[in-house]
Amino acid sequence: MGKQKRMQTRYQSSQLGNPRTAPEPTTQPQSPDRPVSTRTDISKNLSSSSKIPFRSRKIRKLSSDDRKPPQTLVKSNPSQDPILLPVILKPLTFEGEIDTALTHLRNSDPLLTALINSYRPPAFDSTHPPFLALAKSILFQQLATNAAKAIYNRFVSLCGGEAEVGPDSVLGLNPSQLREIGVSGRKASYLHDLADKYKSGALSDALIPEMDDESLLTKLTLVKGIGPWSVHMFMIFSLHRPDVLPVGDLGVRKGVQLLCGLKELPRPLEMEEICDKWKPYRTVGSWYMWRFMEAKGVTSTSKVPAAAAADDGGC
């Protein structure tokens, strides 16, 4: 009886549980060899994925050098951001610029290579100040070269010499005086308007060379008698700008037509597209179009280039 009681007591004790022998809780940490729970899996995945964007952003972060705006030597891409500052091109009178231009044109347009090899390199040597050059361009308009030269020489004498040609001396000449030396009443008004623009400060010999091509075209075409073609000729033969394309010049248009085998004269927009590969030396490309037309015996209305050839020793 005592033995049975002891066995019963031992059985009850095992049912009630002994703290020293209680079963392990189901939430105890798993060993590395045992599979993790679904909840632990999701938690770890979320933790890992949340770090990926942060890590990616750190890798792609730009350095201070990367944030600097890029620069380009030649702004030849029409889609290029206009905010970017291109390297300023030197006038064609700077040493080595003509050679650089010819190398660029040979490489960019094989059709020009034969022309470049056939003619001496261009030269742009005019040293006239802007006011005198603009007055001269007005006097040469719509005239044969020899007649224009004669009128120009008389005009210079009337002013007291080339060094004296300026806004004050021109405004001091009345239309009757100018008419006596062969200057029409209309051209006299053009000369006076040019002088007035100088006197008002809208233009000056110091300001003009500092203007970019677009600003120069805008400002100078405000002068009576000066249109886009005259401004292009002024930029080429007086300021020696390297990248001027006179899209309205008949000689250049005919040259491009013949060079490219076109059936019709190219329009201004077509000229821009065809000659885009000449950038930033479209002035030199245009010079060869004039020479090309002269060799073919094609008559051109480009009187200013002919006058520049005689006066400036180069074209």
> How much is the average pLDDT of 156-180?
97
Q: Which pLDDT tens digit goes with each residue over 20-33?
A: 443 444 444 444 44
Q: What CA–CA distance (Å, rounded) separates 98 from 93?
A: 8
Q: Is the pLDDT of residue 238 over 60?
A: yes
Q: Which residue ranges make up each domain of the chain?
A: 126-239
Spatial separation of the C-alpha atoms in residues 146 and 125, rounded to whole Å: 20
The pLDDT value given to residue 124: 85
137 within 8 A of 226, measured Cβ to Cβ: yes
pLDDT band at 126 (very low <50, low <70, confident <90, very high): confident
CA distance 286 to 253: 9
Mean pLDDT, the chain, integer: 78
Percent of the chain with pLDDT over 70: 66
Q: Which pLDDT belongs to residue 89?
A: 80
* pLDDT at 88 (0 to 100): 62
Mean pLDDT, residues 228-248 taken together: 96
Q: Is the Cβ–Cβ distance between 232 and 246 less than 8 Å?
A: yes
Question: Has residue 1 got a pLDDT over 60?
Answer: no
Q: What is the pLDDT of residue 125?
A: 79
Is 249 a catalytic site residue? yes
Note the pLDDT of residue 202. Answer: 97
Q: What is the mean pLDDT of residues 170-174?
A: 97
Q: What per-residue confidence (pLDDT) applies to 45?
A: 46
Q: Please report which confidence band the pLDDT of residue 306 belongs to, taking 50, 70 and 90 as the band edges.
A: very low
Q: How many whole angstroms separate alpha carbon 254 and alpha carbon 243? A: 19
Query: Between helices 130-140 and 145-159, what is the axis angle to 10°?
Result: 130
Indicate which residue of 99, 243, 249, 311 is catalytic.
Answer: 249
Decide: residue 237, CB within 10 A, 0-12 exposed, 13-18 middle, 19+ buried.
Answer: buried
Q: What CATH architecture does domain 126-239 belong to?
A: Orthogonal Bundle (1.10)
Which pLDDT does position 309 carry in this prediction? 40
pLDDT at residue 74, rounded to an integer: 47
pLDDT single digits (tens) 254-271: 999 999 999 999 999 999
pLDDT reported for residue 138? 97
At 171 the pLDDT is 98
Asked if pLDDT for residue 311 goes beyond 50, the answer is: no
Least confident residue range of 97-106, 168-177, 257-266, 288-297: 288-297
Distance CA 81, CA 67 (A): 15
* pLDDT tens-place string over residues 49-99: 444 443 443 333 333 333 333 333 444 455 655 544 445 689 999 999 999
